[in-house]
Amino acid sequence: MSVPVLLIHGGAGGDGPWGGPTKLDPGRIDCMTIILQEVGGALERGEISALQAVTIAVQIMEDEPLFNAGRGSVLDAQGDISMDASIMNGPDGAAGACAGLKNTKHPIALARHLLDNGWPVIMIGEGAEEVGRKAGLDMVESDWLKTDLRRAQWSKWQAANDRPGSTDEDDNALSAILDHDYEIERAPAGTVGAVALDVDGEMAAATSSGGMTGKPPGRIGDSCLIGAGTWADGRVAISCTGIGEAYIRTAAARRFSDLYELTDMTLADVGDRVLEEVAPLGGRGGLIALNSHGEFILPFHTTLMYRGVWANGRITTDIGPDSTREKGKS
């Protein structure tokens, strides 16, 4: 029997010095703490599998408007919502993914539905959402997903005529766009994700995102691509956050698994290598990962990464660069 572990993240970003928590950060930390208490506790008691744990964890973060996933997703260049998500089960390699969603309340639920059905693995746009409707998944008006915060952020981006791709995970860019409106000293949190190890030694990973502020309509990031933003197998489980194009070009999540399997590198060394490989391509960001022994890492090459851990009955949450560039062992 394995000792369960649950890791979650709420996005990484920023180049400058860490300036401490913002006034909105307690809401994000509270959300992550609830997830770790409830989902981590159920995982430890053997009440849910790793696959169930990552599904529930990400779905809760999709409900928190302060994260860039589900309700609270950022707006594209036309001011519209477009959400991506993916999920993967380590034991059998089953996966599901969806992109370009505009009305699905919980994108991760649609990705999970595709995983459970087995085919197709990935769907986009209206076709994906029609599958979700037929499956009885919760659908909402697109305007319900748009928060006042994101509308204001988009208006600032539009007024500044900033380049498409000023990402929600880029603190410096958003600080300029927002001019500290809504008590924000840096970017709202970004992409959300979770990885888990259950009592049976099985792992799973899930990721969900609204993408980048001002992105071109139709743009797809790494969060919905198995092997880029999400991966789980019998050795490791990974969820990534950052500038998606670089994670796609390096197949970052699968690259992590291959390095861990084929070299004698430690988990921490592999994490650093993967982030070093995406960096030259503009891929600033981070990731969360664990192995089948319960060892875990939460590295990031940015100013901050919202992150949390449930291990050995203990909860740890953090934002800035400190001890949780750490590795841990359950």
Residue 186: its pLDDT value, please? 46
Given a cut of 70, the residues of the chain with pLDDT beneath it are: 161-189, 322-330
Active site residue 263: no
Selected catalytic residue, list 55, 104, 167, 191 = 191
Residue 220: other Cβ atoms inside 10 A: 19
Residue 163: its pLDDT value, please? 55
Tokens linked to 74: 């950022």
Domains within the chain, CATH numbers bracketed: 5-92+145-329 (3.60.20.30)
Tell me which residue of 188, 220, 167, 205 sits closest to 287, measured CA to CA. 205
pLDDT in tens, 80-122: 999 999 999 999 999 999 999 999 999 999 999 999 999 999 9
Residue 250: its pLDDT value, please? 98
For residues 237 and 288, give the distance between their C-alpha atoms in angstroms, rounded to a whole number: 8
pLDDT in tens, 271-307: 999 999 999 998 889 999 999 999 999 999 999 999 9
For residues 322 and 308, give the distance between their C-alpha atoms in angstroms, rounded to a whole number: 13
| pTM across the whole model | 0.91
For residues 40 and 266, give the distance between their C-alpha atoms in angstroms, rounded to a whole number: 25
